[in-house]
């Protein structure tokens, strides 16, 4: 197989939250490499090409500047997938791998249909040897399936498959890509496999220290990604489990997090108790891990990890229930302001956001929900509710109860309660005294992110309730 000493052209299939920012940073840091980002979704590609940088499909601090620098120079967004495949020596697959919603493994396994389609397209179209890089998060041993498809469907070209999972977190994607804790590359142990690993490592070495580029076998790399997300999410479920006990006992969960996080063996990060983790990765990847464990007949291991997701569901439910209980056991006809809808601050992504589930539970009790989020569109919120509605009738009922605001203060005027679902920094700067004056009394605040000062809020007259307090 021909493996060039230096890669000159790469193509990434999938222009989403990972493909877009990752390739933009590679293009910025490697002006000598031509970077094509291709996608089947023409609207997404048009948005990436929009001259108005506020219209990029992904909101990430610093992303617009990177795109502005590299786009049209050596970074190109296009729907011409076949051309991108033909031109590149290295092809990244960065398409979505959602939880399967049909058939075998429904609700647990990762749906690999988009990855498989990519592999078939690469095999069909390639006119020269290619290094194919798994950037999407995949179950362990997927590379084997990709290789089988490439070999069976190809026209005699040779392929090497690498695993290069992405560890960026949304909201800090650019900072994470600039200075990753590590870059992980898994490949085969033969000479061509090792040469392929080196070709990819050389790209990252343009800005990442070689010591931070870890190389492993293929299966270890694939499984490391699922394991990393499972460990991170486990920390949140662990502290959230303790938050429930804090609420019963008078201990304060933030003080506990500080106390235990000071132990260097535990560490201080990812100990922030909250209304529950969201995002497109944690739940999906843990369920996938659970499915794999069951598949390999390891029910105890599967149950152990599944509990992380169950605890998260419990946390979202507990938050909604606390609102209903506090508002005298009914929220019917009551105005509840939602500050934030995104699954975390500094992103417009709402996938699996706790806000969606809390809103649904309150609306089932007939609450009027008034949402303000600085980056999330009304259309997105409606789509989120549609996705979680049990029936058309339920969706219709929810649409009647949800209201959208472009400004924060009208969302809270004459509200019975405010629920903070996302930790946007601007929420801390609001004039809470005038908000209090314009609310119905008693004025409740349920802080699902513990971002406000509880003593100050009490002083202003609010009935303030944080998570684990």
Question: Would you please indicate which residues are annotated as catalytic (active-site) residues?
Answer: 166, 225, 281
Tell the smallest beta-carbon distance from residue 7 to ligand UDX (Å). Answer: 24
- 232 interacts with, out of ligand NAD, ligand UDX, none, CB within 5 to 8 A per kind: ligand UDX
Residue with tokens 């010591």: 211
Q: Which is nearer to ligand UDX, 233 or 417 (CB)?
A: 233
Assess contact for 445 and 418: CB atoms under 8 A.
Answer: yes
- 348 interacts with, out of ligand UDX, ligand NAD, none, CB within 5 to 8 A per kind: none
- 28 interacts with, out of ligand NAD, ligand UDX, none, CB within 5 to 8 A per kind: none
Tell the smallest beta-carbon distance from residue 344 to ligand UDX (Å). Answer: 4
Give the one residue of 66, 118, 174, 232 binding ligand UDX; rule: CB under 6 A.
232
DSSP per-residue letters across 417-438: EEEE-S--GGGGGS-HHHHHHT
- 19 interacts with, out of ligand NAD, ligand UDX, none, CB within 5 to 8 A per kind: ligand NAD
- 193 interacts with, out of ligand UDX, ligand NAD, none, CB within 5 to 8 A per kind: none
Q: Which is nearer to ligand UDX, 160 or 344 (CB)?
A: 344
User: In the structure encoding, which two tokens stand for residue 457, read together?
Assistant: 């809020």
Q: Which is nearer to ligand UDX, 207 or 270 (CB)?
A: 270
Assess contact for 439 and 414: CB atoms under 8 A.
Answer: yes
Q: Is the peptide bond before 442 cis (omega within 30 degrees of 0)?
A: yes
Q: What HEC string does 209-255 produce?
A: CHHHEEEEEHHHHHHHHHHHHHHHHHHHHHHHHHHHHHHHHCCCHHH
Output the residue with the shortest Cβ distance to ligand UDX: 279
Identify residues 341-370 at the interface with ligand UDX (CB under 6 A).
343-344
Residue with tokens 């509990």: 307
Q: Which is nearer to ligand NAD, 134 or 361 (CB)?
A: 134
Give the one residue of 170, 247, 373, 447 binding ligand UDX; rule: CB under 6 A.
170
User: In the structure encoding, which two tokens stand for residue 285, read together?
Assistant: 């990847």
Q: Give the burial class of 265: count Cβ atoms within 10 A of its Cβ; 0-12 exposed, 13-18 middle, 19 or more buried.
A: exposed
Give the one residue of 272, 334, 416, 469 binding ligand UDX; rule: CB under 6 A.
272
Tell the smallest beta-carbon distance from residue 88 to ligand NAD (Å). Answer: 14
User: In the structure encoding, which two tokens stand for residue 96, read together?
Assistant: 């979505």
Q: In whole angstroms, give the CA distance from residue 204 to residue 214.
A: 11
Q: In whole angstroms, give the CA distance from residue 216 to residue 221.
A: 6
Tell the smallest beta-carbon distance from residue 443 to ligand UDX (Å). Answer: 25
Q: Which is nearer to ligand UDX, 44 or 344 (CB)?
A: 344
Tell the smallest beta-carbon distance from residue 299 to ligand UDX (Å). Answer: 26
Number of residues that bind ligand UDX (CB under 6 A): 19
- 236 interacts with, out of ligand NAD, ligand UDX, none, CB within 5 to 8 A per kind: ligand UDX
Say whether residue 278 binds ligand UDX (CB under 6 A).
yes
How many Cα atoms within 13 Å fall on the side-chain side of residue 142? Answer: 32
**Would you tell me the crossing angle of helices 19-29 and 63-70 to the nearest 10 degrees?**
50
**How many other CB atoms sit within 10 Å of the CB of residue 124?**
12
Tell the smallest beta-carbon distance from residue 76 to ligand UDX (Å). Answer: 25
Give the one residue of 67, 122, 271, 376 binding ligand UDX; rule: CB under 6 A.
271
Collapsed DSSP state (helix, strand, coil) of residue 130: strand
Say whether residue 168 binds ligand UDX (CB under 6 A).
yes
- 16 interacts with, out of ligand UDX, ligand NAD, none, CB within 5 to 8 A per kind: ligand NAD
Sign of CA dihedral 51, 54, 56, 61: positive
Task: Select the span of 156-164, 185-193, 270-278, 387-395 touching ligand UDX (CB under 6 A).
Answer: 270-278
Report DSSP state, residue 11. E
Phi, psi for residue 183 in degrees, rounded to 5: -110, 135
- 272 interacts with, out of ligand NAD, ligand UDX, none, CB within 5 to 8 A per kind: ligand UDX
Residue with tokens 């049209």: 72
Pairing label, strands 75-78, 34-38: parallel
Q: Which is nearer to ligand UDX, 252 or 368 (CB)?
A: 252
Output the residue with the shortest Cβ distance to ligand NAD: 16
Phi/psi region, residue 105 (left: phi>0; alpha: psi -120 to 50; beta: rest), is: left
Residues that bind ligand NAD in the complex, under the rule CB under 6 A: 13-19, 39-41, 44, 81, 94-97, 114, 117-118, 136-137, 166, 168, 170, 280-281
Site residues for ligand UDX per CB under 6 A: 166-170, 229, 232, 236, 270-272, 274, 277-279, 281-282, 343-344
């Amino acid at each position: 197989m021909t493996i060039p000493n230096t890669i000159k052209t790469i193509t990434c299939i999938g222009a989403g939250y990972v493909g877009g920012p990752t390739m933009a940073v590679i293009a910025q840091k490697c002006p000598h490499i031509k970077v094509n980002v291709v996608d089947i979704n023409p609207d997404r590609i048009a948005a990436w090409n929009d001259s108005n940088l506020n219209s990029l499909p992904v909101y990430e601090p610093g992303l617009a500047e990177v795109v502005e620098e590299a786009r049209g120079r050596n970074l190109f967004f296009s729907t011409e997938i076949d051309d991108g495949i033909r031109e590149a020596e290295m092809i990244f697959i960065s398409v979505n791998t959602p939880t399967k919603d049909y058939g075998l493994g429904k609700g647990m396994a990762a749906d690999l249909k988009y990855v498989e389609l990519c592999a078939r397209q690469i095999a069909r179209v390639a006119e020269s040897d290619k290094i194919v890089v798994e950037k999407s998060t995949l179950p362990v041993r997927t590379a084997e399936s990709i290789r089988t498809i490439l070999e069976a469907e190809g026209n005699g070209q040779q392929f090497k498959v690498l695993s290069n999972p992405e560890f960026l977190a949304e909201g800090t994607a650019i900072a994470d890509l600039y200075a990753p804790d590590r870059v992980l590359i898994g490949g085969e142990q033969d000479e061509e496999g090792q040469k392929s690993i080196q070709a990819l490592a050389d790209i990252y070495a343009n800005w990442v220290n070689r010591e931070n580029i870890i190389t492993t076998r293929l299966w270890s790399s694939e499984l490391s990604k699922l394991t990393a997300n499972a460990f991170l999410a486990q920390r949140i479920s662990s502290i959230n489990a303790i938050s429930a006990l804090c609420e019963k006992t008078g201990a304060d969960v933030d003080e506990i997090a500080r106390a235990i996080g000071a132990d260097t063996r535990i560490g201080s990060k990812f100990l922030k108790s909250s209304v529950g983790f969201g995002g497109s990765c944690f739940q999906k990847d843990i369920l996938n891990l659970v499915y794999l464990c069951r598949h390999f007949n390891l029910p105890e291991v599967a149950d152990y990890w599944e509990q992380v997701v169950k605890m998260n569901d419990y946390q979202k439910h507990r938050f909604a229930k606390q609102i209903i209980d506090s508002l005298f056991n009914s929220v019917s006809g009551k105005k509840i302001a939602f500050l934030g809808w995104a699954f975390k601050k500094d992103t417009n992504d709402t996938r699996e956001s706790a806000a969606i589930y809390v809103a649904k539970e309150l609306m089932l009790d007939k609450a009027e929900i008034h949402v303000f989020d600085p980056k999330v569109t009304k259309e997105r919120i409606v789509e989120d509710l549609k996705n979680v509605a049990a029936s058309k009738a339920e969706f219709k009922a929810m649409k009647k109860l949800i209201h959208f605001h472009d400004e924060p203060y009208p969302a809270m005027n004459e509200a019975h309660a405010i629920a903070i679902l996302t930790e946007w920094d601007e929420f801390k700067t609001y004039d809470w005294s005038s908000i209090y004056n314009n609310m119905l009394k008693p004025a409740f605040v349920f802080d699902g992110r513990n971002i406000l000062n509880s003593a100050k809020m009490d002083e202003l007259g609010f009935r303030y309730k944080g998570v684990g307090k």
